[in-house]
């Protein structure tokens, strides 16, 4: 590099030359986090391949995207009505909801709920202990609502990464013991499906659900004849894509940086959920933190002096990305966030560079989300042999809703990679609780139609 400078006779002072070198190094590092259109198209292509493999009985076990059947056969059509109980199990709390669905001219969804905490010892205990706690909560809620002894259909949703063995235990106990309350146990779903159903009640064209928050996932209505894990060829069924696991077979390796590898190695499950680790709110702050540590070690930030707080894993929260990238946030406010991280000597130049790092990391996450979503909507279009598809995506998640630029970048990427799909986005409100009740309402409607 120095020879090149000499060759072209650049006459700059040594300090300026050092600054130029720093700019070159900085941009080289940031460029590893930028994705070209060709790379995004390749991500979409590989994603599509894994979707097909996940649907096939022959390749399902080897596929990184599992494409799990949900047994939800329809979205709301507006004729659903009745009273339903919904149970929403979160990480540290548990909600019991009474949801009243009205059809006709007074079509509406009214909810009443009560939130119960889940003690840590119960959350870490057996499935039976968790179930007993749930039973107590339901009993209390029914008495509170003056509905003791009422016979209601029930939907159960979980909106946190639940160990499948424990979840199976809880469902087993539910099936055995909910008769105690004379409840019809109808549906068990995750919050992604609930999001699609909640938005589907507002917009009949909503056939895709998307979560981009602490975690990320998608679901959509797939043709039954493509779902080889389930018998039957007629109609459609919602498929839980479980797209966070994309990349576990190495599909994303060439797009990963040293910072992605660091985050993955230090995670609870190295090698797993590779796509999620490049997109979701649980990991973006950690990617930024590792870039800042690298820049500081190279003398590009904070005069080469790192704070002890910045060395702490998880200290750079993803909400800082949203705050730092806010167009309303002045540089002195960015510096206040850095001071919170123990970087009291940060300069205005440091703030500018930190903002650029946050922007690059968030942009890549939004583009990767857009590439995956492009694969999903294009598959729906091809399934239906349409030249042009018009569809709505129900979406939830704090990253999508609170980051100032994430949604716009994701939608721009989607339009570019799936130009034959006209996609409308509808933000979900309470996809877990309301969604569980609507899934139950749809299941009851479909069952009644079948009986008739």
Active site residues: 95, 159, 191
> What is the β-pairing status of strands 93-102 and 82-89?
antiparallel
Q: Which two tokens stand for residue 326?
A: 């806010």
Question: Residue 240, SS3?
Answer: strand
DSSP assignment, residue 9? Answer: T
Burial profile 239-251: b = 16 or more Cβ within 10 angstroms, e = fewer = bbbbbbbbbbbeb
What stretch of H or E contains 41? helix 37-55
**How far is residue 394's CA from residue 197's CA, in Å, rounded to a whole number?**
8
**CA distance between the termini of the chain:** 79
Contact 103, 79 (CB under 8 A): yes
Question: Residue 89, SS3?
Answer: strand
**How far is residue 437's CA from residue 55's CA, in Å, rounded to a whole number?**
27
What Cα–Cα distance (Å) separates residue 232 from each residue in 226, 238, 417, 425?
10, 14, 32, 31
- DSSP assignment of 344-409 equals TT--HHHHHHHHHHHHHHHHHHHHHHHHHHHHHHHHHHHHTT-SSEEEEEEEE-HHHHHSTTHHHH
């Amino acid at each position: 590099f120095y020879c090149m400078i000499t060759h072209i006779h650049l006459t700059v002072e040594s300090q300026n030359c050092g600054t130029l070198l720093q700019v070159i190094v900085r941009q080289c590092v940031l460029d590893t986090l930028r994705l070209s259109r060709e790379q995004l198209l390749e991500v979409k292509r590989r994603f599509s391949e894994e979707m097909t493999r996940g649907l096939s009985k022959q390749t399902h076990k080897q596929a990184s995207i599992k494409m799990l059947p949900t047994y939800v056969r329809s979205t709301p059509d507006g004729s659903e009505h009745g009273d339903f109980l919904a149970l929403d199990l979160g990480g540290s709390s548990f909600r019991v909801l009474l949801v009243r669905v009205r059809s006709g001219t007074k079509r509406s969804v009214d909810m009443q709920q009560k939130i119960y905490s889940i003690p840590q010892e119960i959350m870490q205990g057996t499935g039976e202990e968790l179930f007993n706690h749930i039973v107590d909560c339901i009993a209390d809620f029914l008495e509170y609502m003056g509905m003791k002894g009422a016979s209601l259909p029930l939907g159960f949703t979980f909106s946190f990464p639940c160990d499948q063995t424990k979840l199976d235990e809880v469902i087993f106990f539910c099936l055995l013991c909910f008769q105690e309350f004379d409840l019809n146990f109808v549906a068990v779903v995750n919050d992604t499906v609930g999001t699609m159903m909640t938005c589907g009640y507002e917009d009949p064209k909503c056939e895709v659900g998307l979560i981009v928050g602490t975690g990320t996932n998608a679901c959509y209505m797939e043709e039954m004849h493509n779902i080889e894990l389930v018998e039957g060829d007629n109609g459609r069924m919602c498929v839980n894509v479980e797209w966070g696991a994309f990349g576990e077979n190495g599909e994303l390796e060439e797009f990963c940086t040293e910072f992605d590898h660091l985050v993955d190695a230090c995670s609870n499950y190295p090698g797993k959920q590779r796509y999620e680790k490049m997109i979701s709110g649980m990991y973006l702050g950690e990617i930024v933190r590792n870039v800042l540590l690298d820049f500081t070690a190279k003398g590009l930030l904070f005069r080469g002096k790192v704070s002890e707080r910045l060395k702490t894993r998880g200290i750079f929260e993803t909400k800082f990305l949203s705050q730092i990238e806010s167009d309303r946030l002045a540089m002195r406010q960015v510096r206040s966030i850095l001071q919170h991280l123990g970087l009291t000597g940060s300069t205005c130049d440091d703030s500018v560079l930190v903002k650029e790092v946050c922007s690059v990391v968030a942009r890549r996450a939004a583009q990767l989300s857009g590439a995956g979503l492009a694969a999903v909507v294009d598959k729906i279009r091809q399934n239906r042999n349409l030249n042009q598809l018009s569809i709505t995506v129900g979406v939830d998640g704090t990253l999508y809703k609170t980051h100032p630029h994430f949604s716009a970048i994701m939608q721009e990427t989607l339009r570019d990679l799936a130009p034959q799909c006209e996609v409308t986005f509808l933000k979900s409100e309470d996809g877990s609780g309301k969604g569980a009740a609507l899934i139950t309402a749809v299941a009851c409607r479909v069952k009644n139609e079948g009986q008739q």
